[in-house]
Amino acid sequence: MVIVSLSITDSLLSDLDFLKEEMGFTNRSEAIRYAIRGLISEKMIEFKSSENIVATITGLYNKSVNKDVLARLQHDYDDLIKTLLHVHLDEINCLEVMVVKGNGDVLNELIHKLRSLKGMKELKHCVTSSK
- In the complex, the residues that contact Ni ion under the rule CB under 5 A are 88, 94
Nearest residue (CB) to Ni ion, 35 versus 84: 84
Nearest residue (CB) to Ni ion, 70 versus 110: 70
Minimum gap (Å) between residue 130 Cβ and Ni ion? 30
Minimum gap (Å) between residue 96 Cβ and Ni ion? 8
Minimum gap (Å) between residue 95 Cβ and Ni ion? 8
Nearest residue (CB) to Ni ion, 23 versus 89: 89
Q: Are strands 81-88 and 120-129 parallel, antiparallel or unpaired?
A: unpaired
- Residue 108: how many other CB atoms lie within 10 Å: 16
What is the C-alpha separation between 52 and 67, in angstroms, rounded?
A: 29
Minimum gap (Å) between residue 86 Cβ and Ni ion? 6
Three-state SS annotation for 97-130: EEEEEECHHHHHHHHHHHHCCCCEEEEEEEEEEC
What is the C-alpha separation between 114 and 73, in angstroms, rounded?
A: 8
Residue (of 61, 57, 68) closest to 90 by Cα position: 61
Nearest residue (CB) to Ni ion, 89 versus 126: 89
